[in-house]
Chains A and B, each alone.
Chain A
């Protein structure tokens, strides 16, 4: 650990603190913002998320080694946390902190991309079902029922079993494509209500076609539940990816993801608990933070809490 790395870590903390303060400053004067901040954990959640995102983005600065760097495979196996290795080393003498930081890139990245896929498909399907109703609705929603009836983990395990070595991009896509069912139900319900609103009739009377009505008038008004479900969904995806990697089926070693670090560390859980413990803690923290922010957003964006 050089002074520069410590400085970089301090910098990440500072960025997170500033961002949290900024959120507070912008939220406080608004009613919705105050509802967000009333959640005691929402601001803490923002801090944790910004911290991890910053370290992930600035990984080469924050991490003292390269992620696959085996510092001294003979003498430095499973070293406990020290000044040189703040979170210890693993059995191959790799710095756990370094792997955690690089792992954040993968874990958060997979979570975000898979969730974007899921939200896009879910919003599209839900909007189509809710807007056209009738046969379209029946067909789409019954497919959603089928999708929800299949345990997600087993679908993914099956895909892993079918491909010899599942490319990471495909894994992300699969996680996304198995995660949109809930969102589509949510969006459909919202659209069913919105399509009857007078401003939708007014837009149609002005000559707007179905695409324009859906994308300009219906979906923007359904943004709140979509955002909330996305925030809560990322946490889910991170857990799912960690689960897969923990089984040795997700991110292939030596690539670090939080799940694969735990996988690497689990045989030594009794003698070197830091190798599996710290990435586990990171997962727990980020998922909790996402849930806290998601809950806060749900309260903040709930139109029923808007004073008339």
Chain B
């Protein structure tokens, strides 16, 4: 296999809470790789650490209260991003790694035209002149499929719809042709039809520009449609990692299993199954007090005493190429328990 473009190892991002109720371990030992040109889906419910992981990569965590623990390691194109000087880091941001945010309504500066905002990264990184930057902005607007780009470039964000603004955000992120695009819930705030258009656009641009995409979402449908590989996060940790088709066909972690069962399906009528849509019982615990042992055990239908005592490592599933499908669950050592439960 080729060298990974981004290598995250044992990333720990903690937040000191104000009330003194302890340290929130929002991201607690996350490791994964992103390979050139691929789409990596990162899924998990709210509060599992997806967004903090993505912000940590660009070191956009507000400090204080947050900090990335020593021992964490984020390597991009052979350099550890965590030890870069602020100036070198800024040369990576928006240039080699770009990011798009969830809320297209609030991620654009209301007092500047979209053209000037799209051009910003090009002005910062490539020292383009105003005029050249404007021409590039129009080019980018065309690329992301906005009609009348020559006119739209001078519009203000409030003159655009949510879907258009998200296209503008994408244009902004891609103007310097980054190697890696981090898309944090890029479609969550949009209508379903617009969601599909935006995902299609991202897919097309990824092929055309040959960049890698880290797609952060809580929507398994989005992952199924776009991602090559998936990382499932729970309680600040990676609990399962697998190629998309493998994950959907053979989910091994009970949390992944629960997530997949919670998606309403068109091919089976809800009433036929058990009368109700499945849901995972309980809630994500507070980040200041993760449960001991396996962090999922209080909500896990298979949990037994070992799960409450010992934290499982990421175990390699027997199937497939070594290391492609890893799961953080003791069930892998005692698979008979799963069958007994069923």
User: Which A residues lie at the B interface, using CB under 8 A?
Assistant: 134, 197-199, 201-209, 212, 216-217, 220-221, 223
Rounded to whole Å, the gap between the CB of A83 and the closest CB of chain B is 53
Q: Mark B174-206, 1 if CB is under 8 A from A, else 0.
A: 000000000000000000000000000000000
A202/B93 in contact, CB under 8 A: no
Residue numbers in A under 8 Å from B93 (CB-CB): 204-207
Rounded to whole Å, the gap between the CB of B216 and the closest CB of chain A is 14
Name which residue of chain A comes closest to B102, CB basis: A198
Residue numbers in A under 8 Å from B124 (CB-CB): 206-208, 212
> Which of under 10, 10 to 19, 20 to 34, or 35 or more describes the interface residues of B?
20 to 34
Residue numbers in B under 8 Å from A216 (CB-CB): 109, 112, 120
**Which of chain B's residues 69-102 have a Cβ closer than 8 Å to chain A?**
86-87, 90-95, 98-99, 101-102
Rounded to whole Å, the gap between the CB of A192 and the closest CB of chain B is 12
B120/A206 in contact, CB under 8 A: yes
Q: Mark B100-125, 1 if CB is under 8 A from A, else 0.
A: 01110011111110000000110011
A207/B107 in contact, CB under 8 A: no
Residue numbers in A under 8 Å from B125 (CB-CB): 207
Rounded to whole Å, the gap between the CB of B114 and the closest CB of chain A is 12
A203/B90 in contact, CB under 8 A: no
Beyond contacts A206-B120, A207-B94: 18 other A-B pairs, Cβ-Cβ < 8 A, are A198-B103, A198-B107, A201-B101, A202-B101, A204-B93, A205-B93, A206-B173, A207-B90, A207-B91, A207-B95, A208-B90, A208-B94, A209-B90, A220-B111, A221-B109, A221-B110, A221-B111, A223-B111
Name which residue of chain B comes closest to A199, CB basis: B109
Main SS of the interface on chain A? helix
Complex CA distance for A216 and B108, rounded to whole angstroms: 12
Complex CA distance for A202 and B112, rounded to whole angstroms: 14
Residue numbers in A under 8 Å from B60 (CB-CB): 201, 204-205
Flag whether B48 is at the interface (Cβ < 8 A).
no
Rounded to whole Å, the gap between the CB of B139 and the closest CB of chain A is 17
Complex CA distance for A181 and B87, rounded to whole angstroms: 33
Most chain A Cβ neighbours within 10 Å, of B92, B106, B111, B112: B111
7 tightest A-B CB contacts, nearest first: A207-B94, A206-B94, A207-B93, A205-B99, A206-B121, A198-B107, A199-B109
Rounded to whole Å, the gap between the CB of B6 and the closest CB of chain A is 15
A203/B109 in contact, CB under 8 A: yes
Residue numbers in A under 8 Å from B103 (CB-CB): 198
Name which residue of chain B comes closest to A221, CB basis: B111
Residue numbers in B under 8 Å from A197 (CB-CB): 106
CB-CB under 8 A for A202 and B172, given A207-B90, A221-B110: yes
Residue numbers in B under 8 Å from A209 (CB-CB): 86-87, 90
CB-CB under 8 A for A205 and B98, given A198-B103, A212-B124: yes
Name which residue of chain B comes closest to A210, CB basis: B86
Residue numbers in B under 8 Å from A199 (CB-CB): 106-110
Q: List 13 A-B contacts (CB under 8 A).
A: A198-B101, A198-B103, A199-B109, A201-B60, A204-B93, A205-B58, A205-B98, A206-B120, A206-B121, A206-B172, A207-B94, A207-B95, A221-B111
Complex CA distance for A202 and B172, rounded to whole angstroms: 9
Most chain B Cβ neighbours within 10 Å, of A134, A197, A202, A223: A202
Name which residue of chain B comes closest to A303, CB basis: B110
CB-CB under 8 A for A202 and B110, given A207-B90, A208-B124, A209-B90: no
Complex CA distance for A208 and B112, rounded to whole angstroms: 15
B106/A207 in contact, CB under 8 A: no
Rounded to whole Å, the gap between the CB of A34 and the closest CB of chain B is 18
Complex CA distance for A208 and B102, rounded to whole angstroms: 20
Flag whether B281 is at the interface (Cβ < 8 A).
no
Residue numbers in B under 8 Å from A208 (CB-CB): 90, 94, 120, 124
Residue numbers in B under 8 Å from A204 (CB-CB): 60, 93
B98/A206 in contact, CB under 8 A: yes
Complex CA distance for A134 and B62, rounded to whole angstroms: 12
Complex CA distance for A34 and B54, rounded to whole angstroms: 44
Complex CA distance for A207 and B95, rounded to whole angstroms: 7
Flag whether B20 is at the interface (Cβ < 8 A).
no
Name which residue of chain A comes closest to B106, CB basis: A198
CB-CB under 8 A for A205 and B106, given A198-B101, A220-B111, A221-B111: no
Flag whether B153 is at the interface (Cβ < 8 A).
no
Rounded to whole Å, the gap between the CB of B262 and the closest CB of chain A is 29
Complex CA distance for A209 and B90, rounded to whole angstroms: 7
A207/B121 in contact, CB under 8 A: yes
B90/A202 in contact, CB under 8 A: no
Most chain B Cβ neighbours within 10 Å, of A134, A199, A204: A199
